[in-house]
Amino acid sequence: MKQSVIRELSGAELLERLEEEKKQLMKLKFNHAVSPLENPMKIKAYKKTVARLKTEIKDRALKGKENTITLNGNPEVSG
């Protein structure tokens, strides 16, 4: 899955897709342990997709924190 496609997904879709990709990756790993896959590079591709999804989720979380600035320009301090 390309990064441009991932950016277009909503937050809920990102989380759903991440779970699906993780499940598929786990299936591939188990199948590869039992008998060799025809294309073991699929495992690498799924790992990269999971990493891209996690990165996008984290980026959105960080951008959400950046938007919590008060009117005087100082960041909000909690605690």
The total number of residues shown for the chain amounts to 79
Q: Which carries the bigger pLDDT value, residue 47 or residue 68?
A: 47
CATH value at residue 11: 1.10.287
Structure confidence at residue 73 (pLDDT): 54
| Cα dihedral 26, 30, 33, 38 sign | negative
Residue 64 lies in a domain: no
Residue 70 lies in a domain: no
Q: How far apart are CA 52 and CA 50, in angstroms?
A: 5
Q: pLDDT digit string (tens) for 9-57?
A: 888 999 999 999 999 999 999 999 999 989 999 999 999 999 999 999 9
Number of separate domains in the chain: 1
Which of 60, 58, 59, 48 is closest to 2 using CA atoms?
Answer: 48
Residue 73 lies in a domain: no
E strands, the chain, where? Answer: none
pTM: 0.76
Domain of residue 34, residue span:
3-56
Structure confidence at residue 79 (pLDDT): 43
